[in-house]
């Protein structure tokens, strides 16, 4: 994937990766924060709850569509410059709801901030992989992605508490303050990473069928996840029979598991990303089967949620790794595509799960997720045979996935 950054000291590398982690944590918190204070926003702006929900959809749409577009438009720029610019504009985007009371402006700002989020994450992956040895690429990806996982487990709940204590604008003010810290760290600790070529040069590789196949797997993984996760509270209340603070405890356990899974998944990506995807998709399907069969037994549900979080988020570094490695010289552009595929999957999964609940019962969302997860297993197996392209420069083969040159796909 292009040229590698000159070697940094281990300390500088760790600080740079920590900065990228913190950046994705802040942006992930900004994305999820609206969910926790949605009712407060609706009441303050005088709009309905569904209308306020458009703020979530606008962010996701901006990330899914705008992220790749901004990545393509800025691909010739130094990656450090792009990261700094993205954080500066995110600060301004999150200031809009603090300073203005116009609902339409708020929606527009959320869409633009979502696009900048997609740009930051895509470039952060490129920077992270460029400053570590090839055998640690998966762990670099995990460090970047884990910021988002931790934001779901920690950032959103804390932001919700701030919103309840100081008002929803107070929670956005806190996000702006954290963004400024992330900006200072980015300016100070992220090294210069030169461009790896233009978007036109990379597009043929980034959108090759082998890459699209893994993106389809990415879509299925997140469609399955959010078919059930979006409606997990009704499931816990009506099927498992837990309520109140106990529901929060179950969700906290799941959140911790996702954070642990996203951190640990990097090592499995470095060992053999393709095999990790097969094992993880089987694991997710098994967890959903347990939830469906023994949903009334609280202890088994808790254990299934823990394992589900580990498998589901533990495979994300491998998904990103496979997309970037299969894109070869188009890796910088392709790095923005998994987030888009994931957001499309999230949207599809939440609609599918909602339709199932509307037609049947609370447990039907889990069954829908299980069906999608079962479909993902043969797709993961099929994508394991895909190999990066061979170029004149020689694309780097993922560790544990080498094949004879004659068998590589061009």
Residues 106-157 pLDDT 10s: 999 999 999 999 999 989 998 998 888 888 888 899 989 888 888 877 887 7
Burial of 314 (0-12, 13-18, 19+ CB in 10 A): buried
Nearest to 120 by CA among 174, 66, 173: 66
Q: How many CB atoms lie within 10 A of CB 209?
A: 9
Q: How many CB atoms lie within 10 A of CB 185?
A: 18
How far apart are the C-alpha atoms of 283 and 279, rounded to whole Å? 6
Residue with the two structure tokens 């740009």 = 119
How high is the pLDDT of residue 308?
Answer: 95
Would you place residue 91 in the very low, low, confident or very high pLDDT band (cuts 50, 70, 90)?
very high
How high is the pLDDT of residue 33?
Answer: 83
Q: Mean pLDDT across the stretch 74-85? A: 92
How far apart are the C-alpha atoms of 395 and 383, rounded to whole Å? 18
How far apart are the C-alpha atoms of 313 and 311, rounded to whole Å? 6
Which letter does DSSP use for residue 330 in this model? G
How far apart are the C-alpha atoms of 202 and 222, rounded to whole Å? 26
Q: Mean pLDDT across the stretch 247-270? A: 86
How far apart are the C-alpha atoms of 110 and 30, rounded to whole Å? 10
Would you place residue 64 in the very low, low, confident or very high pLDDT band (cuts 50, 70, 90)?
confident
How far apart are the C-alpha atoms of 182 and 274, rounded to whole Å? 33
| Structural domains of the chain in order of their starting residue, each with its CATH number | 1-196 (1.20.1250.20), 198-410 (1.20.1250.20)
| Token pair in block for residue 245 | 């603070």
How far apart are the C-alpha atoms of 336 and 209, rounded to whole Å? 16
Nearest to 151 by CA among 171, 137, 126: 171
How far apart are the C-alpha atoms of 97 and 172, rounded to whole Å? 8
DSSP 209-243: HHHHHHHHHHHHHHHHHHHHHTTHHHHIIIII---
- How do residues 98-111 score in pLDDT, each as one tens digit? 998 888 999 999 99
Cβ neighbours of residue 71 closer than 8 Å, sequence gap 6 or more: 118, 119, 122, 123, 332, 333, 335, 336
Q: Mean pLDDT across the stretch 318-343? A: 88
How high is the pLDDT of residue 410?
Answer: 31
CB 154 within 8 A of CB 257: no
Would you place residue 404 in the very low, low, confident or very high pLDDT band (cuts 50, 70, 90)?
very low
How far apart are the C-alpha atoms of 77 and 127, rounded to whole Å? 13
How far apart are the C-alpha atoms of 211 and 47, rounded to whole Å? 41
| Token pair in block for residue 256 | 């911790």
- Whether the model pTM is above 0.85: no
CB 362 within 8 A of CB 239: yes
Which letter does DSSP use for residue 241 in this model? -
pLDDT higher at 231 or 115: 115
Cβ neighbours of residue 407 closer than 8 Å, sequence gap 6 or more: 387
Q: How many CB atoms lie within 10 A of CB 102?
A: 12
Burial code (b: 16+ CB inside 10 Å, e: under 16) for 42-78 equals beebebeeeebbbbbebbbbbbbbbbbebbbebbeee
């Amino acid at each position: 994937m292009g040229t590698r950054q000159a070697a940094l000291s281990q300390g500088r590398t760790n600080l740079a990766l920590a900065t990228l982690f913190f950046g994705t944590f802040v942006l992930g918190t900004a994305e999820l924060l609206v969910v926790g204070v949605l009712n407060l926003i609706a009441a303050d702006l005088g709009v309905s709850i569904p209308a306020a929900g458009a703020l979530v959809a606008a962010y996701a749409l901006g990330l899914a569509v705008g992220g790749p577009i901004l990545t393509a438009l800025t691909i010739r720029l130094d990656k450090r410059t792009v990261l700094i610019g993205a954080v500066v504009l995110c600060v301004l985007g999150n200031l809009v709801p603090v300073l203005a009371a116009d609902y339409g402006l708020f929606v527009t700002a959320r869409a633009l901030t979502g696009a900048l989020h997609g740009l930051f994450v895509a470039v952060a992956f490129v920077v992270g992989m460029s400053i570590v040895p090839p055998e640690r690429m998966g762990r670099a990806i995990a460090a970047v992605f884990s910021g988002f996982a931790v934001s779901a487990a920690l950032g959103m709940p804390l932001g919700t508490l701030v919103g309840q204590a100081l008002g929803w604008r107070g929670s956005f003010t806190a996000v702006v303050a954290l963004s400024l810290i992330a900006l200072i760290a980015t300016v100070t600790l992220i090294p210069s990473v030169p461009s790896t070529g233009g978007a036109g040069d990379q597009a043929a590789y980034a959108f090759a069928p082998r890459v699209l196949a893994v993106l389809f797997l990415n879509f299925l993984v997140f469609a399955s996840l959010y078919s059930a996760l979006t409606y997990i509270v009704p499931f816990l209340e009506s099927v498992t029979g837990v309520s109140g603070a106990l529901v929060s405890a179950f969700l906290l356990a799941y959140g911790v598991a996702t954070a642990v899974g996203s951190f640990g998944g990097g090592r499995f990506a470095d060992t053999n990303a393709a095999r990790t995807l097969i094992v993880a998709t089987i694991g997710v399907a098994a967890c959903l089967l347990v939830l469906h069969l023994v949903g009334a037994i609280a202890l088994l549900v808790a254990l299934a949620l823990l394992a589900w979080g580990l498998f589901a988020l533990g495979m994300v570094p491998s998904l990103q790794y496979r997309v970037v490695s299969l894109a070869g010289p188009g890796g910088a552009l392709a790095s923005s595509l998994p987030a888009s595929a994931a957001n499309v999957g999230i949207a599809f999964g939440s609609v599918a799960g909602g339709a199932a609940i509307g037609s049947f019962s609370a447990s039907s969302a889990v069954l829908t997720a299980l069906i999608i997860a079962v479909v993902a297993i043969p797709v993961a197996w099929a994508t394991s045979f895909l190999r990066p392209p061979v170029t004149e420069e020689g694309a780097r083969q993922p560790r544990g996935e080498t094949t004879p040159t004659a068998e590589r796909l061009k």
